[in-house]
Amino acid sequence: MLPIITEEISSEIFGEVFQDVQSWRKSMVQYLKEENPEINAAILEVAKYDENIDLKAVALGAYLSYRLIEIATENDNLSVEE
């Protein structure tokens, strides 16, 4: 089961992302190359699948979703440990 992404988590991540979208996306590429290369490869493969879609926009959405789920999971794990 996926963790619940709260409004607080969304606000935190959106604030981080929208300070500098291009820089954040590039940092997520590097982060996922190390943290989860299979996910990164899948995101890039899907993003280039259709010539009519914006590669960067697809990747940004996927990285954003990954980060939201990652933070929500960490928060859930902290709640269980307490």
Q: What are the structure tokens assigned to 79, written together? A: 């709640």
Q: Helices (DSSP H) in 1-82: which residue ranges?
A: 7-17, 21-35, 37-47, 55-81
pLDDT tens digits along 3-48: 999 999 999 999 999 999 999 999 998 999 999 999 989 888 887 7
Give the C-alpha separation, 62 to 44, whole Å: 9
Residue-level pLDDT at 80? 66
Q: How far is CA 30 from CA 3, 34, 35, in A?
A: 24, 7, 9
Q: Is a pLDDT exceeding 90 seen at residue 54?
A: no
Number of other CB atoms surrounding residue 60 within 10 Å: 19
